Structure 1
Amino acid sequence: MTLIMRALLITFALGAGLAGCNTMEGVGQDLEDAGEAIEQEASEA
């Protein structure tokens, strides 16, 4: 995969992710939820 394709895919993924949470509070909540999921998986291992 070329560098340009990778950059486009990353840009698209970031844009889609940011479109899902319209405010900074939403971004914070999403990050908190992701952290909790990681902690839960780590404790189960």
Structure 2
Amino acid sequence: MMRKIIVAAAMGGLLLGTAACNTVKGAGKDIQSAGQAGSDAINGK
């Protein structure tokens, strides 16, 4: 019984960790594209 709870908690933590990692990666890409757009506007591209 206790082993099942530990395994379930570990699997849940792994799933949440993976989802958070993808979220941070997506936010980084959004910030990068916004910076590029600002740079293009300043340089007149």
Q: Normalized against structure 2, the TM-score is what?
A: 0.51
- After superposition, the CA RMSD in angstroms is 1.1
Aligned length: 24
Where does structure 1 differ by over 6 angstroms across 4 or more consecutive aligned residues? Answer: none
Percent of residue pairs identical: 8
- State the alpha-carbon separation in 2 of the partners of residues 24 and 36 from structure 1: 19
5+ long unaligned stretches in structure 1 = 1-21
Q: Normalized against structure 1, the TM-score is what?
A: 0.51
Structure index of larger Rg: 2
Greater share of helix residues, 1 or 2? 2
